[in-house]
Chain A
Amino acid sequence: MTGPALLEVRGLQHAFGSVVTAKDLHLDFQDGVLTSIIGPNGAGKSTLVNLLTGHLPVQAGRVAFRGRDVTRMPVHDRVRLGICRSFQIVNVFPRLTALENVLVPVLALSGRARRPFARLSREAEARRAAEAALEAVGLGPAREVPALALSHGDKHLLEVAVALAARPALLFLDEPTAGMNPVERARLLESIRRLAGEGRTTFVVVEHDMDVVFSLSARVLVLHRGEVLCDGAPAAVRADARVREVYLGQEVVPAPEKAAAT
């Protein structure tokens, strides 16, 4: 063992009323291992991301980032430590331009946002970092476009760019390709692959698209009703009988339904 895991989850519990969304979860996320979280609707995927990023308060259990307890840490402090996320439903600043969207995390994390009399137009270094975050997802040409005027797929890309601009060590992407056309999807996956390869950011991706999951990840985590059903390499997970039963079977077998849904 080489020190503590990037993120360590111990005995995590969560329930919405009587619906259990996390049942005594014990998980480790290691540096550099691109993990996908899959599972049927209501499996607790988004809840898990919400709990680990501080979007939802943890009801019981413990979360540690690089050995440091972050269970009750406020969101903005986690982001400063290096835990960030994107949202399933696009969650950007609609009336700010794409560049301004990514400038917010860049300025906040460099401590330059506190100055009420500095001129934003003269923040050359921050602008360069923000432009780099846009370029990383292929949104460079759209920098002056207000977020609300972007296409649906580009909004998702911007969502990822805003999260990336925080330069996280651990980045959760909650269904990043939802509603994207194949071109946008390929562009985003290419970006994720490249950024993961650079090794600065460890990605954890919640995803529905099985092609994406199996082509991208080094590890697949299958959740079902708040429990880990299966956890391992993509090939092993694909071969697992229980996974096929609760999840893959539903998607793979009734082919016409899938065609109708897309």
Chain B
Amino acid sequence: MRPGVAAAAWLALLAALCAVPFLSGRFAPYLAMRVMMMGIFALGYNLLLGQTGLLSFGHGAFYAAGAYGLGLFALRVSPHPILGLAAGVAAAAVLALVVGALCVRSSEVYFSMLTLAFGMMFFALVWNAREVTGGDDGLIGVVRAPVELGLARIPIERESQFYFLVLLLFALSIWVAHRIRLSPFGLVLAGLRENATRTAFAGVPVRRYRLAAFVVSAAFAGLAGALEVLLESGARPFMAHWTHSAEPILVSLFGGLETLTGPLVGSLFFIAMREVIQRYTEHWMLAFGLLLLVVIMGFRGGVVGALGALLGGRRPAGEGR
């Protein structure tokens, strides 16, 4: 896509998202917020999987760290939502720094298994530390206090108000992920994915860069988790469960790895199918699974890859990043 066309498409998307809360009903904005939160989660996750080539099965833990980070901060320190979000992101990043430092020593399947193990440990911790986390009840009673910015005081109590905070952070996340992908740092991450040995022989400290990618992706997960707490006014321990860690993987595979838009398209399908089909049957995963099967077997680049091939023929060189 030419840069002008791409910019126009992003603006159109932004305009459409701005219009959603003015539609009738509460379901559409709610759905859009869930899609955006999933999008932030998957976007960050894809910096690790699509860009760096590391498959983590433990990102639910970072999502939960963000969620409980905000929840505990709101309940015990201050209900300020921006400070709370910062606390959530910081909690996820710090946890990722510790967990990641141990995991990036291994690669491929060992890395994945270690992230899975740490993720399950974190879930057990959240589940059992009742005094702090509320155990299986989770944290409840987090309110959406107004955003105090000096003299300005912006209410986000109503969903239609909170919506724009989510949209702002969603747009910010896309911008950050976009800049990372096009940066020298992003090129080195792609190098790690393509050939870690060669990257080391290019003078790159492989573990440190893997850890950096891990922490960045965890920060995105933490932001998504913290936002969900503000939306649902509580944190659930199952956010840390390994089944939740699988969601950004499915979403990224469905939408297309190695693209910026893939995780976003995947999130839209994933959330829409879950929310809609769940009204009729609890076996909505069956439908999504079948669709995912078709996409993976039929189109290597996911939905976005397939659309790109359909629209633009061969993708330009360098798009592999």
User: Which residues of A are at the interface with B, using a C-beta cutoff of 8 A?
Assistant: 53, 55, 74-76, 79-80, 84-85, 87, 91-97, 100, 103-105, 107-109, 112-121, 123, 126, 144-146, 162-163, 165-166
Given contacts A75-B200, A162-B201, 9 further A-B contacts (CB under 8 A): A75-B201, A93-B194, A96-B187, A100-B318, A108-B203, A109-B203, A116-B180, A120-B184, A120-B186
* Residues of chain B within 8 A of A100, CB atoms compared: 187, 190, 318, 321
* Residues of chain A within 8 A of B180, CB atoms compared: 116-117
User: Which residues of B are at the interface with A, using a C-beta cutoff of 8 A?
Assistant: 179-180, 182-188, 190-191, 194-195, 197-206, 216, 317-318, 320-321
- A91-B198 contact given A104-B204, A114-B185, CB 8 Å threshold: yes
Contact, CB under 8 Å: B203 / A105: yes
Which A-chain residue is minimally distant from B209 (CB atoms)? A113
* Residues of chain B within 8 A of A87, CB atoms compared: 198
- A113-B194 contact given A74-B205, A80-B203, CB 8 Å threshold: no
Contact, CB under 8 Å: A166 / B203: yes
28 example contacts (A-B, Cβ-Cβ < 8 A) are as follows: A55-B197, A76-B200, A76-B204, A91-B197, A91-B198, A92-B195, A93-B195, A96-B190, A97-B317, A97-B318, A103-B184, A104-B191, A104-B202, A104-B204, A107-B184, A107-B188, A108-B188, A108-B199, A108-B203, A116-B179, A118-B183, A119-B179, A120-B186, A120-B187, A121-B182, A146-B318, A166-B201, A166-B202
Query: Which secondary structure characterizes the binding site on chain B?
Result: helix
In the complex, how many angstroms separate the beta carbon of A67 from the nearest chain B beta carbon? 21
CA–CA, A104 to B205, complex, Å? 12
- A96-B184 contact given A76-B200, A104-B204, A162-B198, CB 8 Å threshold: no
* Residues of chain A within 8 A of B186, CB atoms compared: 116, 120
CA–CA, A92 to B318, complex, Å? 15
In the complex, how many angstroms separate the beta carbon of A90 from the nearest chain B beta carbon? 10
Contact, CB under 8 Å: B195 / A108: no
CA–CA, A87 to B320, complex, Å? 23
In the complex, how many angstroms separate the beta carbon of A24 from the nearest chain B beta carbon? 27
In the complex, how many angstroms separate the beta carbon of B175 from the nearest chain A beta carbon? 10
In the complex, how many angstroms separate the beta carbon of B314 from the nearest chain A beta carbon? 11
> CB within 8 A of A120: which of B183, B202, B317?
B183
CA–CA, A68 to B191, complex, Å? 29
